Structure 1
Amino acid sequence: MPPRTHTSHPFIRAAGLGLAAAALGLTLAACSPQNTLNTVTSTGGLNVIQNVRYGPAPRNLMDVYAPKNVHNAPVVLFIHGGSWQNGSKDGHKFVGVSLARAGYITGVMNYRLAPEHRYPEYIQDAAAALRVLRDSATSYGGSPDNLFVMGHSAGGFNAVEVVDNARWLREAGVPVSAVRGVIGVAGPYTYDFRGEPTALAFPVGGNPDDIMPNRHVRPDAPPNLLLVAANDTTVDPYNGVTMNAALKKAGVPSELKVLPGLNHITIIAAMARPLNFLGDTRKQVIDFIETRKLQ
């Protein structure tokens, strides 16, 4: 593992839920800890619509988790991590259920993966998914003008980029005023990918100054919540510090929260309601949405 420095702020590597599993003793043979977590996550009492298509590519699918009997509920789009080269919505059922239990219509999306698909294709996927989720919000009991976007790790980059850059929502036909907030969890918002394994997710010869979310924050962006794991050895926590500074400079409301005792994996595992004891992730996310949602 290369050293983490504040000069390059490298995004070192992605991982599964293995570290969280070790901490929790979830070591069932022949079954990944992530699948174990999803297996014990019940969808009882929720409406679950799987594989909602938002585009023509095979991975242009999302699962929607919706509480029953809601009206004008907030709508959240969640984007998984995985170095832009791995990961799946199927591994994040626990996030969809957790947010739906809080009263939110939640779409958990797949996106096209690198190296076949590089920036900005996966960002355009996020915008397209948000457009479809917004268009269908009322059918699930949600409000099309009460949107939030959330992502973990590489998905945190996607979430912040798709909302804070003026280009993507405009191109997808999503009114910027409809997005009430964006939540980045341990995201690599400001690092030099050149020479890193994750360079495969960016254009050949690409310049971080033209790509990183902190380089092009629109002044009318909605509030940002940036959650950082104090013990993160995968994405340098300084990414959150630098992104927060760029938002503040542009006049965008931003909160940077460093969560103690958590690492790159447990910060998202703590979204699962049975794992809230790990840390404050779920509470921070819900408090932010409750504060920023249309009343």
Structure 2
Amino acid sequence: MPVQQKRRTLMLGLASLCATALAACSPVRLLNAAIPSSGYRKTADIAYGSDEEQELDVYVPSQPAAPGEKRPVVVFFYGGSWQNGSRSNYLFVAQALTSRGYVAVLPDYRKYPETAFPGFVDDAAAAVRWARDHAQEFGGDPDRLFVMGHSAGAHLAALIATDPRYLASQSMSKADLRGVIGLAGPYDFLPIQDRTLLDVFPASTRPESQPVNYVTGHEPPMFLAAGTDDTTVDPGNTDRLAAVLRKHGDSVEVKHYDGFSHVRIVAALALPLRGRSTVLADVSAFIDSR
């Protein structure tokens, strides 16, 4: 069997295995196992705060940028119901972003029960401030700063882009963000039914946790995506936030991926699954247009 055919057969088989594993909520190490170790440079375990969870990794494309060019910087927040997750699980996202020529910043952040709302949002804003301040050290453009997230991470990205208090606490504003990418995010999820989430979002501050409540018409452009078969986060969250943004004259693009589940929409960024959807191409088109 020719080498190219063998490689294609192996990749298709791995893609099938990864899809099955994700459906069963298996670890994402299967996705990361297919990621090459070349094509990017990783600088790990950089502190952006004093807590052990307040660390981040930076990934830079190995290929030199064009003379005088600075790369867009994308800060990616992972999901996990504001309770779980680790940046180490998202190598596949970092590789996807660097493959398109972007500097990828992947922070950890404090989660429940170590902190409750708004502690993790404060961390997100601090990580973005760090990314802006240090962008040029990694060949990035501080004026082309994007925030991106999946699930709870999309909530973090959207809230710091709508409620001005978080970035203001870091001497920044919404205008410092070139764009927001939200994948399967909860943006308008009250009332809360889950017992644990009632503690994650204390009653006294619960209304302040909803990005839809802070749209004023001065938000950065947004790309909001959801899978039609998402049973974890109601895709209506995406539509409701988009409707409010449009009502206020903000720029927003919405994409619904037919048949995609909550996990599949982010897994589609991984190399073995990338060719089966346009998720990465759509995200890249949004970033490049800004």
The aligned runs of 1:1-295 (5 Å cut-off) are 24-25=19-20, 32-68=26-62, 69-70=64-65, 71-196=69-194, 197-203=196-202, 205-206=203-204, 208-292=206-290
**TM-score normalised by the chain length of structure 2:** 0.87
CA contact (8 A) 1:193 1:208 kept: no
Q: Describe the superposition over 1:206-259 as per-residue Cα deviations: whole angstroms up to 9, x where unpaired.
A: 364332010111321110111011110110011011111111122211111111
**TM-score normalised by the chain length of structure 1:** 0.86
CA contact (8 A) 1:159 1:182 kept: yes
Q: Counterpart of 2:61 in structure 1: which amino acid?
A: P
CA contact (8 A) 2:31 2:272 kept: no
Aligned equivalents of 2:206 and 2:173: distance in 1?
A: 27
Aligned equivalents of 2:18 and 2:204: distance in 1?
A: 38
Q: Superposition RMSD on alpha carbons, in Å?
A: 1.9
Aligned residues, how many?
269
CA contact (8 A) 1:266 1:278 kept: no
Sequence identity of aligned pairs in percent? 38
Structure 1 residues 21 and 234, CA, compared in 2 at 3 Å: closer, same or farther? farther
Displacement after TM superposition at 1:25 (Å): 4.5
Aligned equivalents of 1:146 and 1:155: distance in 2?
A: 20
Structure 1 residues 214 and 175, CA, compared in 2 at 3 Å: closer, same or farther? closer
CA contact (8 A) 2:231 2:261 kept: yes
Task: Tell which structure's C-alpha radius of gyration is larger.
Answer: 2
Aligned equivalents of 2:80 and 2:141: distance in 1?
A: 30
Secondary structure class of the residue paired with 1:65: strand
Structure 1 unmatched ranges of 5 or more:
1-19
Q: Counterpart of 1:234 in structure 2: which amino acid?
A: T
Runs of 4+ in 1 over 4 A off after TM superposition: 20-23
